[in-house]
């Protein structure tokens, strides 16, 4: 029987698990690190899941109609996913994107027919930066002020849209559980919008309350500042602990995780480079951050012989213009 798909939307999800044998051997780890390879999604990141879910939920609820323009504020991967889904479904798409993300993200969004607007080009967001610093949640509020009054717009709003964690609860979490036959002891993921950690974490704990859930955030010195103007950041990963309450994304369930790790950009890069050399898996900076955190967990005596699943969000092909794969 023929197996021909009719839309790219049908290709989202069902990504594989891979045990990282080469990396684990090189690091002499006591636990098993098993990676959820989200770059197997059609546009090579975990954000394909939420892009499709947010759009189709909005269509069903009558919030997104033919002729509307989809808009979003993103560090890149959600923009790529939404640009592809918008193209496939016939919607115009406009993304407001961080200036410092890799040029590959801009290029891919343009290839899908999307329009990109740098955050530095939006007066309300520039004002927010000056007042609050480069906080993603405050940027969302500034963008809402900027587009207020425009008609025929639908703002995906990944930080607050419940379709984000819901799709991970109903797809990503069950995929992990089923593929590992329920033998998961810990789950590690970076926090951007909080959707992945919350959705997967809540699903896994609904199956086994003893599964340990760990989030990952950047160290404070991973961000650009007056003292570090050239610092490359871990794109798409944001603080959720030891920060102001109003800066924490609404989609993050603060009760779901048992602990968290802080990772510097250099540590994330180190892990991603070693993974490429030892297992032939090319991933981006946020994946490197999640893997570095999972490595710290795997070195603990209480996780000896246990299965640690780490979600690797995207491909390294979107980082070739950064220092991630240029430093050696």
Phi, psi of 37 (to 5 degrees): -90, 90
Give catalytic residue positions: 47, 286
Measure the CA dihedral 131/135/140/143, to 10°: 40
The C-alpha atoms of residue 222 and residue 262 are separated, in whole angstroms, by: 10
Helix, coil or strand: residue 256: coil
Sheet bearing 93-97, strands edge to edge: 115-118, 93-97, 69-74, 153-155
Please report, for residues 156, 176, 247, 309, 327, the alpha-carbon distance to residue 312 in angstroms, rounded to integers and kept in the order given.
23, 13, 24, 10, 21
Q: What is the DSSP letter of 170?
A: I
Encoding tokens for residue 328? 């050696």
- Is 161 within 8 Å of 54 (Cβ atoms)? yes
Residue 117, classed as helix, strand or coil, is strand
């Amino acid at each position: 029987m023929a197996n021909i798909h009719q839309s790219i939307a049908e290709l989202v999800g069902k990504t594989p698990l891979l045990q990282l044998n080469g990396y684990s051997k090189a690091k002499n780890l006591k636990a098993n690190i098993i990676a959820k390879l989200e770059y197997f999604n059609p546009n090579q990141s975990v954000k394909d899941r939420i892009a499709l879910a947010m759009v189709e939920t909005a269509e069903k609820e009558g919030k997104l109609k033919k002729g509307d323009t989809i808009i979003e504020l993103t560090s890149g991967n959600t923009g790529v996913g939404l640009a592809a889904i918008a193209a496939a479904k016939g919607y115009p798409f406009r993304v407001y994107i961080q200036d410092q993300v890799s040029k590959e993200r801009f290029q891919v969004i343009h290839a899908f027919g999307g329009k990109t607007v740098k955050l530095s080009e939006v007066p309300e967001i520039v004002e927010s930066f000056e007042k609050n610093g480069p906080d993603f949640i405050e940027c969302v509020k500034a963008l809402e002020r900027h587009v207020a009054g425009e008609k025929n717009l639908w703002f995906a709003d990944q930080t607050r849209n419940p379709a984000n964690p819901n799709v991970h609860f109903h797809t990503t979490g069950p995929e992990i559980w089923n593929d590992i036959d329920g033998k998961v002891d810990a789950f590690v993921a970076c926090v951007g919008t909080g959707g992945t950690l919350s959705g997967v974490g809540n699903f896994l704990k609904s199956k086994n309350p003893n599964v340990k859930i760990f989030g990952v955030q950047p160290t404070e010195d991973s961000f650009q500042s007056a003292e570090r103007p050239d610092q490359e950041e871990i794109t798409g990963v944001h603080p959720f602990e030891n920060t102001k309450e109003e800066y924490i994304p609404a989609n993050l369930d603060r009760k779901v995780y048992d602990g968290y790790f802080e990772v510097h950009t250099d540590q994330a890069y180190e892990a991603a480079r070693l993974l490429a050399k030892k297992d032939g898996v090319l991933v981006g900076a946020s994946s490197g951050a999640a893997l570095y955190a999972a490595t710290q967990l795997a070195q603990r005596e209480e996780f000896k012989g246990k299965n640690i699943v780490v979600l690797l969000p995207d491909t390294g092909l979107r980082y070739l213009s950064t220092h991630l794969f240029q430093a050696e």
